[in-house]
Amino acid sequence: MKFEVKATKLESAALDVIVAGLFEDEKNLPEELGQIDVALAGLLTDLLASGEFTGKAGAQLLLPTAGKISARWILLLGLGKTVDYQLDKLRQAVARAVQAARDSKLSSLGCPALGAWRLANHPEAMGQVIAEGAYLGLYQYEAYKTEHEDAPKRLESLTLLVKAAELTAMAQGVESGEKIAKAVCFSRDLIQTPARDMTPAILAERAASMAREISDINCRILVEEEITQLKMGALLGVARGTLGVQPPRFIILEYFPKPSIKPLVLVGKGITFDSGGISLKPAEGMEKMKYDMSGGAAVIGALRAIAELQLPVNVVGLIPATENMPSGNAIHPGDILTAMSGKTIEVVNTDAEGRLILSDALTYAERYEPAAVVDLATLTGACVIALGHQAIAVLGNNQPLIDRIRAAGDRSGERTWQLPLWEEYSEQIKSDIADMKNSGGRPGGTITAAALLAKFAGNYPWAHLDIAGTAWEEKGRPYAPKGATGIGVRLLVELAKDFAGMSSP
């Protein structure tokens, strides 16, 4: 899709369709639609007055213009209540608009960034969010489709119609939004790819080729021998089930535009398939466990976006990657692993593997003397029970860092909710024969998983994001079609901007 920003009036945009956003509780026609309403003999006023178009969030009505204005169609789009309206609602509205245009086989869409749905005085943020909504809303994973029900539908162009005075700021915002959205879609592709075609080695190769493509990112891939030399016993323990078949990788991405400043280190869980290991998961739904590398994919995507935006902040990405499979070599429940830090972990459940591989990555992170470490992982089913599919769980050892993450989540539309990490919770992971055990049972499962990670977080501010409930979308939302959401990328970009000292609305 081609994205253009033009200072053209709505009524004179010669496109297939233009969007008109209308609020539920605003019964007067917004000013910028006045001319169009006149040209259409009062049709819009009538539809509003009669209540035939409500303006409820998501309401849509596609009307032909019969040559009365330059565009062939006008799409009325409900924006919901004025009080609820903020940047994420705009992102959603644009996604709905591009989908409606695509599904009606219209190829050029005009989207006004003026009048009704503007958000006061943030032209750049508006441009960014509009671009994100459009690209994320149009995302489709088609790599394995050979049959299409119809001729493929494509939206060819989106033209953002803006005030001349705001053209530069909007265009800048659009450019950033495009880069961020493309990084999110890149992560989504990595996650959607079936485990057979997204092994640890392939994931590492995808990270490396991304790093070659984008300037200023350095990528190093540690293979089994190096992982062994580093004594990453927890990662190797999980990898044992497929050692010799699909060996593990430890992926390192570095973006260091500012020498001698402590970096922000991002750690992502890279389980390319989680069968549970010997503590095998039930068959139903197991196919979804290809998404157990969503944290890793988010980190790879975030590094891509941060480098493309050339943010003035040092960032490192660490992704321990392995499958979790049963085999004659797989670890047994009851085995004890010695992690890289030297601590011992009794593996009471081989399905609690994410915390094992992350613990070695948290130890490895220490060598960077990080300003902060943030890990992302589809870590616990308990997170889905606690927060459902609406929020990322955040826990950590440093409240100011958690506050900054929560604010970045709110700004990006990837919202978080904090859970407590009181020391009493670590009672549940005490082992009779090792330093700790890898499962604390069902009560507070998200917290006890974080309690284990906390034992490996070194002498740095650390926070953990559990994205188990938010990394996969079952039904489809405006800008997150069914499947991988790519969650985390936008939050991490916002956090990196914060670390770079840049403020956003």
Catalytic residues: 281, 355
Applying CB under 6 A, does 382 fall inside the site for ligand BES?
yes
80 binds, among Zn ion, Mn ion, ligand BES, none (CB under 5 to 8 A by kind): none
CA pair distance 473, 227, nearest whole angstrom: 34
Among 187, 378, 412, 426, binds ligand BES (CB under 6 A): 378
CA atoms within 13 A on the CB side of 264: 27
Return d(Cα 47, Cα 229) in angstroms, integer: 71
Q: Which helix (H) or strand (E) holds 76?
A: strand 73-78
**Of Zn ion, Mn ion, ligand BES, none, which one sits near residue 421, judging by CB under 5 to 8 A according to partner kind?**
none
- Within 10 angstroms of residue 27's Cβ, the number of other Cβ atoms is 12
What is the nearest approach in angstroms of Zn ion to the Cβ of residue 61? 44
Distance CA 42, CA 39 (A): 8
CA gap 472, 453 in Å, rounded: 23
CB closer to ligand BES out of 291 and 462? 291
Cβ proximity to Mn ion: between 124 and 353 the closer is: 353
Element housing 449 (H / E):
helix 445-454
Nearer to Mn ion, 155 or 357 (CB): 357
CB within 8 Å of 83: residues ≥ 6 apart? none
Which helix (H) or strand (E) segment holds residue 222: the answer is strand 217-222
123 versus 354: smaller Cβ distance to ligand BES:
354
349 binds ligand BES (CB under 6 A): yes
- Rg (Cα) of the chain, in Å, rounded? 24
What span, in angstroms and rounded, lies between the C-alpha atoms of 251 and 255?
A: 13
Enter the tokens of residue 485.
């959401």
> Tokens 């470490």 identify what position?
373
Residue selected from 381, 458, 473, 477 as contacting ligand BES according to rule CB under 6 A: 381
| Residue 31: burial class (beta carbons within 10 Å; 0-12, 13-18, 19+) | exposed
Interface with ligand BES includes 468 (CB under 6 A)?
yes
Q: How many residues bind ligand BES (CB under 6 A)?
A: 16
Q: How far apart are CA 300 and CA 130, in angstroms?
A: 23
- Sign, CA torsion 122/124/125/130: positive
Six token digits for residue 164? 């001349």
For residue 187, the minimal CB distance to ligand BES (Å) is 16
Of Zn ion, Mn ion, ligand BES, none, which one sits near residue 445, judging by CB under 5 to 8 A according to partner kind?
ligand BES
Minimum distance, C-beta of residue 297 to Zn ion, in the bound complex (Å): 14
The Cβ of residue 406 has, within 10 Å, a number of other Cβ atoms equal to 18
Q: 39-44 long-range contacts, Cβ below 8 Å, gap at least 24?
A: 39/11, 39/65, 39/68, 39/69, 40/65, 40/68, 40/69, 40/74, 41/68, 44/20, 44/76
Choice between 196 and 367, CB closer to Zn ion: 196
Total Cβ atoms within 10 A of residue 208: 17
Q: Looking only at residues 282 through 321 of this chain, which bind Zn ion when binding is defined by CB under 5 A?
A: 292
Which of 175, 346, 351, 375: binder of Mn ion (CB under 5 A)? 351
Residue type at 21 in one-letter notation:
G
CB 82 within 8 A of CB 21: no
Among 16, 124, 189, 274, binds Zn ion (CB under 5 A): 274
The Cα 256–Cα 429 span in angstroms is 37
- Nearest approach, Cβ of residue 276 and ligand BES (Å): 6
Q: Does 323 bind Zn ion (CB under 5 A)?
A: no
Q: Could you say which of 241, 354, 461, 481 contacts ligand BES (CB under 6 A)?
A: 354
Contact status: 466 vs Zn ion (CB under 5 A): no
Q: How far apart are CA 304 and CA 496, in angstroms?
A: 12
**Residue placing its CB nearer to ligand BES in the complex, 133 or 295:** 295
Site stretch for ligand BES (CB under 6 A), options 43-51, 89-97, 106-114, 348-356: 348-356
Among 16, 32, 254, 274, binds Mn ion (CB under 5 A): 274
- Nearest distance in Å: CB 119, ligand BES: 34
Select the binding partner of residue 381 from ligand BES, Mn ion, Zn ion, none (C-beta < 5 to 8 A, by kind). Answer: ligand BES
- When CB distances are held under 5 to 8 angstroms depending on the partner's kind, the choice from ligand BES, Zn ion, Mn ion, none that residue 380 binds is ligand BES
In angstroms, what is the minimal distance from the CB of 359 to Zn ion?
Answer: 14
Q: Considering CB under 5 A, how many residues would be counted as binding Mn ion?
A: 3
Print the binding letters for residues 430-449 with ligand BES: x by CB under 6 A, - otherwise. ---------x-----x----
State yes or no: residue 428 binds ligand BES (CB under 6 A): no
CB 192 within 8 A of CB 483: yes
- Write out the binding residues for ligand BES, residues 67-86 only, by CB under 6 A: none
Residues 264-283 that bind ligand BES (CB under 6 A): 274
Give the binding site for Zn ion (CB under 5 A): 271, 274, 292, 354
Give the binding site for ligand BES (CB under 6 A): 274, 292, 349, 351-354, 378-382, 384, 439, 445, 468
